[in-house]
Amino acid sequence: MSTAVRIPVPPPPSTSPGLALNQNNNKRKRSWSRAVFSNLQRKGLERRFQLQKYITKPDRRQLAATLGLTDAQVKVWFQNRRMKWRHSKEAGKGGENNVDSTQDQDVHIDVDTITDTD
C-alpha cells in the first residue's frame, strides 16, 4: 500500500503587495493584519499630532523608535489621523445658515504674551 505525499505549492506571485490570491474562490485576501497600538503608543502619537499635523521624516523615525513602532506605521497613522481631523473640522462647520460659533465663545487673550514687533 502506497501513501500519497502532498508537497505544498506556493501560490503564484501577486501583483499587489500585501495581497495573496485565495485558490478556492479566486478572491484576494489580505496577508497583513491591522496594527493595534497600545495606549502609550496612541497617546504619544496624539501628543505629537497636536504639535504638528505633518511630521518630517527624521521626526517620524525618532517617534517610531521611541514608541517601538515602524516608520511606516507612524506614517500611515499620521495620514489617517489627518483625514479624521479634516472630517471632524468639516462636520463642525455644519450648514451655511448656522450662526458663527465664535459669537458664543469667550475668547481669552493673555496680553502679557503679545509683543509689538514694529
What is the torsional sign of CA 74, 76, 79, 85? negative
The neighbouring-strand residues paired with 21 are 28
Stronger pLDDT, 69 or 116, i.e. the higher one? 69
Nearest to 55 by CA among 36, 35, 79: 79
Model pLDDT for residues 16-54, shown as the tens digit of each residue: 555 555 555 667 776 778 889 999 999 999 999 999 999
- Stated pTM of the model: 0.54
Give the helix/strand (H/E) hosting 21: strand 19-21
Distance CA 25, CA 117 (A): 69
Model pLDDT for residues 73-85, shown as the tens digit of each residue: 999 999 999 999 9
Domains identified in the chain and CATH numbers = 37-89 (1.10.10.60)
Q: What is the largest CA-CA distance in the chain?
A: 99
